[in-house]
């Protein structure tokens, strides 16, 4: 593909100017080609889909065979409850880990890991209280932070977010409070 056309296509992908159906076909064609341009097109489509089109992302990246609980336990983390916990702790390595929703990235390196709007009441969102305790431990006992990406799979009938899959990679992060949100800067 000519450089000018190639650059224009990458911009159209990033700007969301191509429909999901066409992106899926473009991705499949690029996968077959396998050259450097094709791989870069695939990366742009995945990046766009991960943040802007979760349905397309789930089609392109099948649900992870590694579930969150197994991934966390394999890395030495625990929590109060594997169903509702948002944060996890590894006392041996002094690390707090948060799952980071793919739809909560502010940009490539910054993601909201906790928001005061997610508080609800103690009965409906006990993960919020646990996350605050983990942040307090990190601040008072010098624990470091890590995050791993979770693919948002929509919401259930109660309005709770569902996990469509995870990216089983822990990334170091620095966490700051900004207004009502805690934001992880991922390195």
Please report, in tens digits, the pLDDT of each residue of the chain (187 residues total): 888 998 999 999 989 999 999 999 998 888 788 778 887 888 788 778 877 887 787 777 665 556 889 999 999 999 999 888 989 999 999 999 999 998 899 998 999 999 998 887 655 577 899 999 999 999 999 999 999 998 877 777 777 777 877 888 999 999 999 999 999 999 7
| Overall pTM surpassing 0.75 (yes/no) | no
Report strand pairing: 110-115 vs 144-155: unpaired
- How far is 162 from 102, CA to CA, in rounded Å? 12
The domain segmentation of the chain, as residue ranges, is: 3-60, 68-186
């Amino acid at each position: 593909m000519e450089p000018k056309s190639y650059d224009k296509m990458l911009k159209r992908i990033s700007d969301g100017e191509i429909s999901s159906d066409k992106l899926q076909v473009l991705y499949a064609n690029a996968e077959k080609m396998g050259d450097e341009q094709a791989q870069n097109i695939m990366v742009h489509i995945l990046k766009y889909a991960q943040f802007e089109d979760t349905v397309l992302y789930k089609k392109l990246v099948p649900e992870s065979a590694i579930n969150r609980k197994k991934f966390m336990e394999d890395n030495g983390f625990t929590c109060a409850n594997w169903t509702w916990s948002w944060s996890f702790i590894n006392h041996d390595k002094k690390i707090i880990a948060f799952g980071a929703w793919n739809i909560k990235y502010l940009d490539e390196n910054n993601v909201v890991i906790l928001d005061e709007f997610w508080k609800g009441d103690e009965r409906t969102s006990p993960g919020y209280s646990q996350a605050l305790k983990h942040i307090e431990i990190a601040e008072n006992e010098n624990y470091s932070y890590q995050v791993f990406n979770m693919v948002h799979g929509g919401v259930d009938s109660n309005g709770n977010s569902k996990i469509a899959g995870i990216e089983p990679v822990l990334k170091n992060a620095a966490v700051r409070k900004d207004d009502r949100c805690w934001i992880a800067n991922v390195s």
